Amino acid sequence: MDFSKLIARVQALLLSPKTEWPVIAAEPETVANLYKNYIMILAAIPAVFGFVKSSLIGYSVLGFTARTPIVSGIIGMLVQYALILGIVYLLALIIDALAPSFDGEKNPIQALKTSAYAYTAGWVASVGVIVPWIGWLIALAGSIYGIYLLYLGLSNTMRNPPEKSVVYTLVIIVIGFVLSLVIGAIVGGITAAGAGAAAISMGNSSSSNVTIDSDSALGKLAAFGQKMEQQSKKMEAAQRSGDTKAQTDAASAMLGSVLGGGDKVEALPPEAIKPFLPEKLAGFKRESITVERNGAMGVQVSTGHASYRDANGNSLDLEVTDMGGAKGIMALAGMAGVESEKQTEYGYEKTYKQDGRLVSESWDSSNHSGEFSIVLGDRFSVKLRGNGEGLDMNVLKSALSSLNLAGLEAMKNQGVKQG
C-alpha cells in the first residue's frame, strides 16, 4: 500500500476536484484494488473516531458525561466499519443502475469509483467528531462537500450530460441518506443489545518455513481472510455477469460473511431464546417479555428482553442477544483482548476476560444501579441491569449465573453455514 499516493489522491480530491475527477475516470481499476488501496483505509476513519468519541471521550450534557461501554463501543465500531464497506458497494450498484436514466453509461467499476471518492470528504471530516462544540459543523461541512464531489464526478465517470448531473446527484443523495439511516439503526441496535464491520484479509506467506497455529488469533484471522477472498471472487464474478440482482445478492452475501467471520449465520428463532428468559430470576418475578429476530442486508440478530421486580420494588432487566450474522466481529472483539478498569467517586467500570469469556461490569452507588454482561461462544451477549437499594453487584452476578449459560453457549454453532 502506497500511503503517499493515497494522501495525494485525498488532497487532490479536496483541493482540486475538477481536475482530479478526469484523472480518476481514466485510471484502470478493479474492485479489489479500490477496496484494498483506498476504501478500506479511509472508511475506518468514521468508525474509529466514532468509537473514540463515544467510548473514550463521551458525550457531555449539562455537566453529565455519558460513555458507551468499551465492549459495546468496539462492537459498534466494527459493525459500523463493515456496514460502510458494504454500503459503498451497494451505492455503487445503484449509481450504475441509474446511469441510463440520466443518459449515462453503465460501468460498475466507474460507479464504485464514484461512490468511494465522493465519500472521501465525509470520511476525512468525521475526525471532527472528537472536537468539542464545533465537531458537528466539521462533519456537516464534509458531508456537503461530498455532495459537491459527487456532482462533479458523475459526468466524468458515468459519462452523463453535465446538465443532468444535478438531478442524478439528488436521487443518489436521497438513497445514500436512507442507507446511512440503516447504518445508524443497525449499529445502535447492536450496541444497545450490549455485547456493525470489520473486513480483514491476510495474504499467504511467501515463506514455506512459516506456520500459523489455526487455533491462535492470527490463525483465525488468516482463515477469515481466506474466506473473504472467496467471497470477493464471487462478487467479482457477479459484477462481470452484468446481472444487477446477482450483484446485489453477492454484495449482501459479502457483507453477511464479513460480519459472520466468513460464515453465513442464521440467528436463533425467538422460541429458542425464550427459555433463557425464565419466569423467575433469583427471587424476582417476570413482569414482561419480548423476543424478536430481525435482519438486514444478510445480517440477522435475535434479541430477547425480560423485566423483573421483587416485593421491595427492586428491578432487573435481562437481555439475551444472539448476534447471529455478526458473530465474526464478536470473535474479533474477543481476540482483541481488551481489558480496562475505571474508578469513579460513586462506583466503577471494568472489562476483562474470565474463563475465555469477555465480561463487563459497572456499578453506580449514587443511584443503586449497575450492569453485568458476558459474551458466550463469541456469539451470545447476556446482559443484566439492576436498580434498587436492595441490590449490589453480587446480586447481579448471582442472578445471571443462575441462568443456563452453558446451554446457551452450546448453541454457538446452530444456524452456522460454512462460507
H-helix or E-strand containing 319? strand 315-322
Residue 135 confidence (pLDDT): 63
Tell me if residue 401 falls in helix, strand or coil: helix
User: 125-151: per-residue pLDDT in tens?
Assistant: 888 777 655 566 677 778 888 888 999
Both 40 and 143 in one domain: the answer is yes
In a domain, 297, yes or no: yes
Both 64 and 176 in one domain: the answer is yes
Residue 84 confidence (pLDDT): 86
In a domain, 182, yes or no: yes
**C-alpha distances out from residue 285 to 115, 221, 400, Å:** 52, 44, 14
- Which residues are paired to 284 by β-bridges? 281
Tell me if residue 290 falls in helix, strand or coil: strand
Both 187 and 75 in one domain: the answer is yes
Return d(Cα 51, Cα 77) in angstroms, integer. 6
Both 139 and 29 in one domain: the answer is yes
Both 175 and 300 in one domain: the answer is no
In a domain, 240, yes or no: no
Widest Cα–Cα separation across the chain: 73
* Number of domains the chain contains: 2
Domain boundary among 156, 178, 197: 197
- Which residues are paired to 374 by β-bridges? 359, 382
Both 32 and 134 in one domain: the answer is yes
Domain boundary among 197, 212, 236: 197
Both 39 and 148 in one domain: the answer is yes
Both 191 and 276 in one domain: the answer is no
Both 67 and 190 in one domain: the answer is yes
In a domain, 258, yes or no: no
In a domain, 15, yes or no: yes
Domain boundary among 162, 197, 232: 197
* All three cell numbers of 63: 455537566
Residue 335 confidence (pLDDT): 46
In a domain, 337, yes or no: yes
Both 402 and 275 in one domain: the answer is yes
Both 191 and 309 in one domain: the answer is no
User: 263-287: per-residue pLDDT in tens?
Assistant: 567 889 999 999 999 999 989 999 9
Q: Which residues of the chain have pLDDT under 50?
A: 61-63, 190-212, 216-222, 225, 258-261, 297, 328-329, 332-337
Coarse DSSP helix, strand, coil percentages of the chain, rounded to the nearest 5 percent:
55, 20, 25
Q: What are phi and psi of 248, to 5 degrees?
A: -65, -45
In a domain, 248, yes or no: no
Alpha helical stretches, state H, 158-308: 165-193, 217-241, 244-259, 270-273
In a domain, 94, yes or no: yes
Both 42 and 190 in one domain: the answer is yes
**Domain assignment of residue 110, given as a range:** 3-197
